[in-house]
Amino acid sequence: MAKFEPGLRSLAPGSYPFVSPHEACELILSTVDVPAWPELPKRSFLENMYVQFSEGFPGVVVTGEQIYVDRDRDLDRGLDKLYMAYFADDLEFAAISPEYAAGLHCFLGLELGKVAIAKGQVTGPVSWGLMVSDEKRNPLLYDDVLAEAVGKHLRLKVAWQEQQLREVVKDTILFVNEPYLSTFGSAFLSLSREQVIALLEEVFAGVQGLKGVHCCGSTDWSLVLQTSVDILSLDAYEHAEALALYPGEVTAFLERGGAIAWGIVPASNAVFEESVESLVERFHAAVDLLVAKGVHRDDVLAASWIIPSCGLGSLEPETARRVMHLTSAVADALQERYVK
C-alpha cells in the first residue's frame, strides 16, 4: 500500500456526538482526507464502544445501560459457536447490526465517489476485556478462557468490518482503540507484556489492510511498536513526550514502513483556544522531541498523519465540528509546506 503513504494527510477519528448518522458522515466527508465510519454513542447505548462490538460474545447481556457476561448462561455452547466461526473464518457470525452501528451502515450505503481508502475501528482486546465483566464484576481479561475468546471475537469483528468496507472502497485502515493501554505497568492492569502483545496480534491477524493502534493517554509505546502495527496513533497534544522516550524503537518502526498519526488537534474545548498556526507550531514541537533523540526529521514527516487527539463522541456538536475543520486545515497547511 505504498501509494497510501501518509503525506501529512488528515485521518478521521472514530466517534462523534451526533444522533444522525447522515450528519456525522456529511461532516467527515466534507473535512478530512481519509474518512471513517462514525460511532455514535449519544444515539444509543448500543453504540457505546464496549457494547458496539459485543454481539455474539458468549453469555453477553446488554440491559438498560449495562453490559456484562452472565456465567449462569451456557457459556460452553456460546464458546463452541465462536470457535467454530473462528476456525471456519465465518465472518457473517461477527456481523454488526444497524442497531449497534448506524454510522457504519449509513457509510456503507453512501456514494463515496473518488474515496479510495477508508478507516474503520474496533475496541481493542485489552480495553474490551478489562471493561466488560461478569455478573460479579470480574473483568473478562483475567479469566484465561474468556480472555482468549475476547481476542478471537474481536478478530472476527474487525475482519467482517473490513470485508464490508472493501465493498465500497479499494483499501482500508483499521484502528484498534486501546484507551486502557495507558494503565499498562500499573496495578490496574496485571497482564504481562507478552499477553498484551498476543491479544493485539490476534486482532491484527483479521486485518488485510493497514492496521493502527490508538491510545489517548501516555503508555509504554515500545510495547505497541513491538507488534506488527502499521500506524501508531497518540494524543500528541497532551502526551507527545511519551513517544520520545523510545527513539530507537521509533526509528526501527519508521524503517519498516510504520507511520505516526499525530493527535495534535485537541478533542476538547481547548480547540477553541487554538488556531491552525498554533497547532502547526505544536506539531513541530512534538516532532522536535523525536529529532532531539536522533530520529531523522524527514523520516518522521514522511510518515506522519494528522488526526484529533481522541474520539469526539463526548463533545458538543459545535466542538466536534471545530475539531474536524481544524484537523483538515492543519493537515492542509503542513502538506503545503512539506509535500512536493
Rounded Cα–Cα distance for residues 290 and 245 (Å): 8
Whether the pLDDT of residue 70 is over 70: the answer is yes
* DSSP of 126-167: HHHHHH-EETT--BGGGSHHHHHHHHHHHHHHHHHHHHHHTT
What CATH number is associated with residue 250? 3.20.20.210
Q: Which of 85, 87, 84, 48 is nearest to 67 (CA)?
A: 48
Whether the pLDDT of residue 185 is over 70: the answer is no
Whether the pLDDT of residue 188 is over 80: the answer is no
Rounded Cα–Cα distance for residues 142 and 69 (Å): 13
Q: What is the pLDDT of the chain when averaged over all its residues?
A: 95
Whether the pLDDT of residue 13 is over 60: the answer is yes
Mean pLDDT for the stretch of residues 128-136 = 94
Give the residue numbers spanning the domain of 262.
2-338
Prediction pTM value: 0.95
Please report, to the nearest 10 degrees, the dihedral formed by the alpha carbons of residues 26, 32, 34, 38 taken in order. -40
What are 38-60's pLDDT values in tens digits? 999 999 999 999 999 999 999 99
Whether the pLDDT of residue 163 is over 90: the answer is yes
Mean pLDDT for the stretch of residues 101-121 = 95
What are 199-253's pLDDT values in tens digits? 999 999 999 999 999 998 888 999 999 999 999 999 999 999 999 999 999 999 9
Whether the pLDDT of residue 149 is over 60: the answer is yes
The per-residue pLDDT for 1 is 40
Q: Which of 232, 304, 310, 231 is nearest to 266 (CA)?
A: 310
Whether the pLDDT of residue 78 is over 90: the answer is yes
Q: Which of the pair, 191 or 144, is modelled with greater confidence?
A: 144
Whether the pLDDT of residue 3 is over 60: the answer is no
Mean pLDDT for the stretch of residues 19-32 = 98
Rounded Cα–Cα distance for residues 212 and 205 (Å): 12
Q: How many domains does the chain have?
A: 1
For residue 61, how many other CB atoms are within 10 A of its CB?
Answer: 14
The per-residue pLDDT for 183 is 79
For residue 335, how many other CB atoms are within 10 A of its CB?
Answer: 16
Q: What is the DSSP letter of 168?
A: T
Decide: helix, strand or coil at residue 45: helix
The per-residue pLDDT for 2 is 41
Q: In which band, very low, low, confident or very high, does the pLDDT at 187 lie, cut at 50, 70 and 90?
A: low
Sign of the dihedral through C-alpha 150, 180, 177, 99: positive
